[in-house]
Amino acid sequence: MKENSKHVVVVGGGFAGINLAQQLYNNPHFRVTVVDQNNYNFFPPLLYQVATGFLETSNISFPFRKLFQGKSNTSFRLGELQKIVPEEKKIVLSSGDLSYDYLVLATGTETNFFGLENVKKHALPMKTVNDAIEMRNYLLQAAEKATVISDPGERRKFGSIVIAGGGPTGVEISGMLAEMKEYVFAKDYPELNIAQIKIFLVDASPTLLSPMSQKSQRYTYDTLTESGVTVKLDVSVKDYVDDTVILSNGEKIETKILIWAAGVTSKVFEGMPKESYGRGRRLLVDEHNKVKGLDAIYAIGDTSFQTTDKNYPEGHPQLAQVAIQQGKLLAKNLVAQLKQKPMKPFAYNDKGSMAIIRRNKAVADLPKGLFFRGFIAWAMWLFIHLLSLINYRNRLKTLYNWTAAYFTRDQSLRMIIRPSRRE
């Protein structure tokens, strides 16, 4: 590593941050420090399978320090970003200060509860590994409680599950729970009347999977309803009081289980000017992902809002592929800048969208109007997501669990594990 190498601090080890770091591996002109509040990278699209006990946490996550072994210029710092000091080119973390030559914010998003305090307090979010483990524990504990409750009204509350949000996460968790009701709950909980378990999927939009094609939306709706899921569109959750979900049309659903997959918002950091933020609290960036009005600070992935791409004048969708492509290009642009060569403006290459619904059922919208559904789309979804996992170990373990689950329609990972807290 060169003595005058530039220090690149990447806050956030998700799709965007990791792809940037990997692009700069062993480059002697740069020192890279990846900062994250967790000591591991994880794969968000498969969180719902951890939450339902079909994958282990280790299948979709991997420690940063092991990932960076043998990378001479790349290191990891555990900490949470608390403040940015642009004039001093440093950041304040929960674990101390860190100086930078280039700061890259790849902090992703957090759950948006839209100001609904009761929902925030009592609903189950689906954004982090901790969320997935908490959901798995809660669902299993709720089922255990239901087996010993004699009051029919109270038992119905445990048997009603409301999922808020008709995007990929909401659709995937609804389909998985419908399949578990059919093939798992009846075997695990013979004390329960499985026919009384009700699954509701609620979304404020007039369609499910609103960014996808009408064919995908219709197939998804039909598949879920055929699976026993009650889909309620054009209606949103307004409150959650006394075990009752209150909908915007006045309807009420009594339930002990509200799963929240209804929206995300970006994070706001002390030290960043208010003018730097745009819609959804995303950071306004130029064509090279540099935060407007600030020197040497960049934002990539879900937390960035870029309007210079002619095909996306209203900003890019908050998708993994956008984050991956922005991370890779920014790394190349930092190298070009150091060599005093022109930087390349970002233009998103849309490779398509897909969503899994349940076993053998999925939808895929590909470029040039190509549309796939059913088993072919399901196989494509599995293949793409398997390849997207961060290393071979994760891919092999996930493939093994998926194969076992496919042939048995079951998995033996439904354990309630709550570690005791110690400082």
User: Residue 239: how many CB atoms within 10 A of its CB?
Assistant: 15
pLDDT tens digits for range 128-157: 999 999 999 999 999 999 999 989 889 999
In this structure, what CATH number is given to the domain that contains residue 134?
3.50.50.100
Q: Is residue 280 part of a domain?
A: yes
pLDDT at residue 8 greater than cutoff 90: yes
In one letter, which amino acid is 18? I
Q: Is residue 403 part of a domain?
A: no
148 and 250 in a single domain? The answer is: yes
- Percentage of the chain with pLDDT > 70? 98
- Among residues 305, 338, 371, the one where a domain terminates is 338
pLDDT tens digits for range 58-83: 999 999 999 999 999 999 999 999 99
Strand order from edge to edge, sheet including 90-93: 81-85, 90-93, 96-99
pLDDT at 207 (0 to 100) = 97
Q: Could you tell me the two tokens for 362?
A: 């999925």
Specify the 3-state DSSP secondary structure of 55.
Answer: coil
203 and 254 in a single domain? The answer is: yes
Range of the domain at 280: 6-111+265-338
CA gap 165, 231 in Å, rounded: 11
- Among residues 236, 262, 288, the one where a domain terminates is 262
In this structure, what CATH number is given to the domain that contains residue 308?
3.50.50.60
Q: Could you tell me the two tokens for 121?
A: 């307090």
User: Residue 72: how many CB atoms within 10 A of its CB?
Assistant: 12
Q: Could you tell me the two tokens for 66?
A: 């092991």
Number of structural domains the chain divides into: 2
**Confidence class of residue 422 from pLDDT cuts 50, 70 and 90?**
low
Q: Is residue 418 part of a domain?
A: no
Q: Is residue 306 part of a domain?
A: yes
Instruction: Give me the residue label for tokens 């979010």.
Output: 125
CA gap 364, 377 in Å, rounded: 6
**Confidence class of residue 118 from pLDDT cuts 50, 70 and 90?**
very high
169 and 279 in a single domain? The answer is: no
pLDDT tens digits for range 244-285: 999 999 999 999 999 999 989 999 999 999 999 999 999 999
How much is the pTM? 0.93
Q: Is residue 399 part of a domain?
A: no
Round the CA-based radius of gyration of the chain to a whole number and report it: 22
* CB-CB contact of 380 with 362 (8 Å): yes
257 and 155 in a single domain? The answer is: yes
Q: Is residue 141 part of a domain?
A: yes
